[in-house]
Homo-oligomer: A and B are copies of this chain.
Amino acid sequence: MTVTRRKFLVQLAASSGYTAAAAAMATLGLGTSVVAAAAPAAPLQLAPGSGKGLKVLVLGAGIAGLVSAYELRKAGYEVQVIEARDRVGGRNWTIRNGTRIELNDGTTQVADFEPGHYFNAGPARLPSHHQTILGYCREFGVELEAEVNTSRSAYFLPDAAKGGQPIQLRRAINDARGRISELLARATNKGALDEELNAGDRARLVEFLKVYGDLMPQAQFKGSERSGYKVFPGAAEQIGERPDPLSLDALLDPDLWTSLIFDELLIFQPTMLQPVGGMDRIPQAFHQRLKDVVRLNTEVSGIRNQSNRVEVTVRDRRSGKQQTLSADFAITTFPLPVLAKVETNFSPEVQQAISSVHYDTASKIAWQTRRFWETEYQIYGGISVVKHETALIWYPSGGFHKKTGVLVGCYNIGQVARDFTAKPLASQFASSRAVIDRVHPGRGAELQRPVSVAWHKVPYSLGAWVHWATPAEKEYTRLNQPEGRVHFAGEYLSQIGAWQEGAALSAHHAVAAIANRVAAQATSPRAA
């Protein structure tokens, strides 16, 4: 199912073998069969002025909160957004020169990238089909550029224990395709598919496989130009020299498989996009339009449903001053581990749902360094997958050919990330540096100015996302219903968990639910 996709993917890259992979794939394939038929999606449309005279408190200024506030306000609601941090965006957090990273393990880092550089510690890409969040980018004029999620010049690094050398992705991907095509052509020609296919279709299939796998006329695979060159072709008599094709044995290393399918997963398919200058251009664009109603540095300590109001107790983090706010409705967008710490009069069932959902974590490391990957490796953006606790090396999609850039040297999740970030920062950085040096020998020593963000240690986030076992899990279903006058919203309440699109759509869902209540009230005889 949808919400486990990122888990599947990063886990594959980070830690697990093919058994886990197969299990995860099965979950993916089976996910939608456990729930009822789908309803068509409809864009949010609130009647202008329909919220007039009603007040909504929006708790949290991440994407779900900002979208909620923006949409409610457009419909005439009075809105106030309460945010504990000194910035909007929540997990949409772009780190630049001077950004303080204060984790709840007592560590503090201050990024000292050169001006102009940035590091998207949270979301860092926008799939082309995430049209809700992209729609806000369009509406607000947030400038976008292609996010290069895939480079065929990048590498897969096998397990160090297997002693493997880095394998260039163009080689792994195209040799795998060639080997598979050859095997299927051979099996077909042997008669293995005579029951399934008639003679004409078998012939067409073999012709197809020759094109698909770049096979020789007799359907053998002898390597392919698609897999690249040791020496590239040049002028005059300078013909290219190709490496030998990889053996089937090398290709059947389960650690490799993610790299072969990564960019065909729906959320990672081209085209992917990113805001020019950093992902936080999106929350900034909302903030600009909501400046007068967003209250930063304000913690929520209590939420209480009353008969016809909801009361929210807040504390100004600078003055310490406490205050109780009141509104017709509230939307809480806090991650559940944060919400669990807020005192409420919610039903035991809802309190139980909030406190029992397990949040995963994720950690990222970023380095500033010379852009050696471009000049020396022909890598412009994209990801090298490493069989190592740091999981990947992610090259920047912009600023090509500039002198320096920000290289993401770790993006791990789950228990691997918890164990990894339990180590001192210096050990984390050393691990990232060492594996980058295995893929790019001699370059580890050049890496500078690292920062690490471990999401379960980030105050007011306390985690990365939820892995629901099914979209029908009872906590998911329950929290998608309001509790009294309090509605819940966040990526975790969508089928697109861990993505900003999910947060935006969940916000729409909560806003529509409030609007429907208001409309029902207005037409109800009791309200007259």
Which A residues lie at the B interface, using CB under 8 A?
Answer: 2, 5, 18, 21-22, 25-26, 28-30, 32, 35-36, 38-41, 128-129, 131, 134, 137-138, 141, 144-146, 148, 150-153, 170, 173-174, 176-177, 180-181, 183-184, 186-188, 190-193, 196-197, 201, 204-205, 207-212, 214-217, 222, 224-226, 228, 231-242, 248-249, 251-252, 254, 257, 260-261, 264-266, 269-271, 273, 375, 378-382, 397-398, 400-401, 471, 477, 480, 493-496, 502, 505-506, 508-509
Contacts and interface: CB of A to CB of B under 8 A. Distances in A.
Nearest to A371: B138
A214 B153 contact: no
B35 A236 contact: no
Contacts of A152: 128, 264, 269-271
A475 to B, nearest CB: 13
B146 A380 contact: yes
A435 to B, nearest CB: 22
Given A128-B378, A196-B183, A214-B28, A509 B235 contact: yes
Interface-centre pick from A235, A248, A269 (highest chain B CB count, 10 A):
A235
Tallying the copies of this chain within the complex gives 2
B187 A252 contact: no
Given A184-B184, A212-B180, A153 B174 contact: no
B236 A509 contact: yes
A214 B28 CA distance: 9
Given A18-B208, A183-B193, A238-B509, 7 more contacts: A146-B381, A191-B192, A226-B266, A228-B266, A234-B509, A235-B509, A271-B379
11 contacts: A18-B204, A41-B234, A129-B228, A183-B193, A183-B196, A234-B495, A234-B496, A234-B509, A235-B495, A235-B502, A238-B495
A148 B375 contact: no
Given A270-B152, A273-B400, A400-B145, A41 B382 contact: no
A242 B2 CA distance: 12
A38 B238 contact: yes
B144 A145 contact: no
Contacts of A18: 204, 207-208, 211
Given A39-B237, A192-B187, A378-B131, A153 B208 contact: no
Given A177-B264, A192-B190, A241-B38, A236 B380 contact: no
Contacts of A228: 129, 266
B2 A235 contact: no
Contacts of A506: 235-236
The 7 A-B pairs with the shortest beta carbon distances in the complex, nearest first, are A192-B192, A233-B495, A187-B187, A235-B509, A187-B192, A146-B146, A152-B269
A48 to B, nearest CB: 22
Nearest to A32: B239
B2 A225 contact: yes
A237 B382 contact: no
B32 A240 contact: yes
B212 A261 contact: yes
B381 A35 contact: no
A119 to B, nearest CB: 19
A2 to B, nearest CB: 5
A214 B271 contact: no
B22 A211 contact: yes
B180 A184 contact: yes
Given A234-B41, A471-B239, A257 B225 contact: no
Contact of A226 (B26, B209, B264, B495): B264
Nearest to A191: B192
A524 to B, nearest CB: 24
Contact of A146 (B214, B234, B397): B397
B129 A153 contact: yes
Contact of A401 (B5, B41, B144, B207): B144
Contact of A273 (B40, B186, B380): B380
A398 B174 CA distance: 29
Given A145-B398, A205-B252, A381-B146, A480 B261 contact: no
A204, A215, A380: residue with the most chain B Cβ atoms closer than 10 Å: A380
A107 B242 CA distance: 46
B261 A225 contact: no
A248 to B, nearest CB: 7
Contacts of A502: 235
Given A192-B190, A260-B212, A505 B238 contact: yes
A496 to B, nearest CB: 6
